[in-house]
Chain A
Amino acid sequence: MDSFTPVASTLGGLLIGAAAAGLLMFHGRIAGISGIAGGIFRRQPGDVTWRIMFLAGLFTAGVLGSWFYPEAYRVEIDRTSLALVAAGLAVGIGTQLGSGCTSGHGVCGIGRFSKRSSVATLSFMATAAITVFIVNEILGGAV
């Protein structure tokens, strides 16, 4: 457990929770990243710009982070481009079919005591654990 970061992770989590709470208080919206992204493609009038601005904020956090805190973006797992493409497609289609991701179901949904989000979170946590087990224990950690 040499990489365990309880303090930084809790502090970061508090900030994530505050950002999600801000989106609720000011915009009346759920801070689910996959839902925010998916809505752009539905192109409902008046419902696109705030989504693009929110995602631009996420992107800008990365731009700033790469200057001040580049260690936060290290990739230390061994993945081929093919594995990354397969993973991206699975996340893209899966989150739209399942109506949410870690933020929408895992944080906002559980915070709202939603049964749907609790079931969804159990589902994606279970398959993520199975996938990591297969990759690390059977395939030797590289795919």
Chain B
Amino acid sequence: MKIKVGAFLGGLSFGIGLAISGMTQPAKIVGFFDFAGNWDPSLGFVMAGALLVYTPIYRAVVKRWHRPIWASSFSLPTRKDIDWRLVSGSALFGVGWGLGGYCPGPAFTSVGARSQEALIFGAAMLVGVGAYQIFTRLREARIEEAAARETSPVIDG
């Protein structure tokens, strides 16, 4: 129960932060990248503010804590390699971000505010997320199945 309520409050404060910072207004996202026009540096201040809090807490927590307060272990990314998926996927995300003016967080929050634009964007985004995840799961299952076939003993007659 506390895990559910905690996650809800986490999302709630994250979303309030997004709204206060102006990140739920697509014009401010587009403005940050509009170097040739009316440049709005706000997004840089949002990231700087978030990093100012997150970076020292992260460093202190991973150094001194053996486990988080409500879970038996930390679930943190372990990969270190730079591969084409990381670079091309991020590049594709950037195109959509610049085009629509929403990234995933502000999209969820703006759907809650019943923004028509966010609703269209968010529905398409969820289709993209779901299609990718379902496709990946099916492919992984196929690879596992093929591996299981190869290692199973051959029975002749």
Contacts and interface: CB of A to CB of B under 8 A. Distances in A.
Interface of A: 1-6, 8-31, 33-34, 37-38, 41-42, 49-51, 53-66, 69-70, 72-77, 79, 81, 83-103, 105-112, 114-116, 119-121, 123-133, 135-137, 143
B interface, over-half SS? helix
B102 to A, nearest CB: 7
Interface of B: 3-31, 33-43, 45-55, 57-58, 61, 65, 67-71, 73-77, 79-82, 85-105, 107-118, 120-134, 136-137
Nearest to B68: A28
A2 B1 CA distance: 45
28 contacts: A9-B23, A13-B51, A14-B52, A18-B17, A25-B65, A26-B6, A26-B68, A28-B71, A30-B77, A50-B3, A53-B8, A54-B8, A58-B112, A64-B16, A66-B112, A72-B25, A76-B27, A84-B120, A88-B124, A91-B97, A92-B130, A93-B128, A97-B85, A98-B87, A99-B89, A123-B86, A130-B98, A133-B34
B94 A131 contact: yes
B7 A128 contact: no
Contacts, number: 513
Contacts of A5: 21-22, 28, 42, 45
Given A16-B49, A110-B51, 20 more contacts: A1-B40, A11-B20, A13-B46, A15-B20, A17-B54, A22-B9, A24-B57, A57-B10, A59-B15, A84-B100, A84-B121, A94-B128, A96-B128, A97-B132, A98-B93, A102-B105, A108-B58, A116-B80, A123-B91, A137-B36
The 7 closest A-B pairs by CB, nearest first: A92-B128, A13-B49, A57-B11, A12-B21, A62-B112, A61-B15, A98-B89
Given A22-B13, A24-B61, A57 B42 contact: no
A20 B14 contact: yes
A10 to B, nearest CB: 4
A85 B124 contact: yes
